Amino acid sequence: MVAKFKDLGLSENTLSALKKKGFEEPTQIQAKVIPLLLGNELDIIGQAQTGTGKTAAFGLPLIERLKERSKTVQAIILVPTRELALQVAEEINSLKGKKQLEIVAIYGGQSMDQQLRRLRKGIDIVVGTPGRVKDHLRRKTLNLKDISYAILDEADEMLNMGFIEDMEDILSYTAKTKRVLLFSAIIPDRIIKLAKKYMREYQVVRVKKEQLTVSTTDQIYFEVNHSDKLEALCRIIDSESSFYGLVFCRTKVDVDTVSKKLSDRGYDAEGLHGDISQNQRERILDKFKGQRTNVLVATDVAARGIDISDLTHVINYSLPQNPESYVHRVGRTGRAGKEGTAVTFVTPDEYRKLVFIKRITKTDIRKEKIPEVADVIQSKIARIRNDITEIIKSSEFDDYIEFADSLLVEHEPRQVLSAFVKYAFGDELDVRNYGRIRDVSVDKKGTTRLFIAKGKVDKMNPRSLIDLIKKTVKIDTHKIRDVRIFDKFSFITVPFEEAETILRAFKKKKSDRKPLVVRAKKKKKKHRK
């Protein structure tokens, strides 16, 4: 079992770059693919989910094997979206260390002139979307005839987006001696046909899909308006005796905004995202790992590979994009046998997304109330009391006895102690430090219309239909409304949360080989001419 990157055959330059980024252990796909790319010349089909570290799996071997200062493009990486193009280019750039390689992302929507200037200077690795790469090939501003590697990343997504012909067209411009690497979450027949047509002898590498559960982490959520998130975050941090956590935001702008506002309020907080330089990243991670800062605000991409085992909290300041991202975030607590807490902020329009994450991850994320200001102050008082008690027990206060005696000669002990508490902790215990958080209720009131593939011919009536549901799933049947029974099917209306429960319970039940219960399709509105 490979435990470290140093066991994969990587150079000292690459290992140093990985260390600076805080990457310590390879993911499954990295541990399997990197030795193959370094050790033989076979083409590779890699099956792995998004977020498993595929970029480093192919990016690190590219860095190892490509020539420095080549005058021709050595590798083309095709990706489905411009966001992924930027992400892949940034990550490979951050991993190359001292190796002299030029990497550029080209995609639609960016200035063509700007891309042309970069390409004329000489590029080693091009990361691009199919449409824009084809534009350059037609213009003859991009030459792929001498490439050594063609990489199709997220191939299934490019297939779904209708790029299959574009991929084939682009590959036709490349050298026959190139090595082809194809990465995909699933491998449908169309992808296999593509592989057989453009690959030579290839090897398939599969990693098991992660079980999307987080067992050692206490998972809670707070209902909060977007404008009150910072206030809620401050209350959570201040309620804990020793908060040490990651705060996840969706964008770089959010990271900068949240980390700055926390710093302005006096918290030891820093931000981490893709625009942070390598030197800054290394410095920030060193401080956080050494607990000289206790709050790190980061994007998902920037936080990849950070391996810290004693985090107390992960805060989803922004709800993650998908269940996989949720698990990757939350899994950073509860390591090394320690329990951690994952907190998710849910705005009024995000409840359905939360329910979806709960369903896919098969986990209970329970609702809690944001701490009241009075409770936060009491938590602070308790910590101060404990700290003072520890100082008294240690007897490490002899240097201050003479000063204390002089105060006690002039004033009553109670007055002296009260004045000292105000002098030392008055600002920290001031309730005016906290703003008001408005009450909010997320959107649970919406209803869902369900289609049931049984009707009058199946001897169904409203009572028997409700009994059928009652036998399969435990819900309050009084919430089932607007029951309509037709000859071969029926409809019911239930609140959104109950609908999710019913659909989950009836997922494997069939009627004439069709699902017994599904969401009813919405009628399309007819437009008047």
DSSP 126-172: EEE-HHHHHHHHHHT----TT-SEEEETTHHHHHHTT-HHHHHHHHT
Nearest one of 5, 2, 18, 6 to 285, comparing CA atoms: 18
pLDDT of amino acid 445: 53
Mean pLDDT by 10 residues, the chain (529 residues): 76 87 78 92 85 85 91 93 84 90 90 89 93 94 94 87 89 92 86 86 80 70 93 94 91 92 93 83 88 91 70 92 78 67 89 80 86 92 90 86 91 92 88 84 68 92 91 86 91 85 82 79 51
CB 311 within 8 A of CB 331: no
Element (H, E) at 241: none
pLDDT of amino acid 413: 92
Q: Classify domain 213-244+310-443 by CATH architecture.
A: 3-Layer(aba) Sandwich (3.40)
Q: pTM score > 0.75 for this model?
A: no
Q: Dihedral of the CA atoms 332, 335, 340, 343 (nearest 10)?
A: 20
Domains 5-206 and 213-244+310-443 share a fold: yes
φ, ψ of residue 306 to 5 degrees: the values are -75, 115
Region of 382 on the Ramachandran plot (φ > 0 left; ψ -120 to 50 alpha; else beta): alpha
pLDDT of amino acid 1: 45
Q: Count CA within 13 A, CB hemisphere, residue 393.
A: 6
Pairing between strand 510-511 and 514-515?
Answer: antiparallel
Q: Which fold has domain 447-519?
A: Alpha-Beta Plaits (3.30.70)
The Cα-based distances of 343 to 118, 238, 242, 368, 371 in angstroms read 43, 14, 16, 10, 13
Q: Kindly state the greatest CA–CA separation across the chain.
A: 96
CB 293 within 8 A of CB 244: no
Which tokens is 138 given? 């037609």
CB 505 within 8 A of CB 472: yes
Element (H, E) at 75: strand 75-78
Q: Classify domain 5-206 by CATH architecture.
A: 3-Layer(aba) Sandwich (3.40)
SS (H, E, C) 440-486: CCCCCCCEEEEEECCCHHHCCCHHHHHHHHHHHCCCCHHHCEEEEEC
Cα separation, 301 vs 320, in Å, equals 12
pLDDT of amino acid 525: 47
Positive or negative torsion for Cα 264, 269, 272, 275: positive
CB 149 within 8 A of CB 75: yes
- The structural domains of the chain, with segments of one domain joined by +, span 5-206, 213-244+310-443, 447-519
The DSSP symbol for 227 reads G
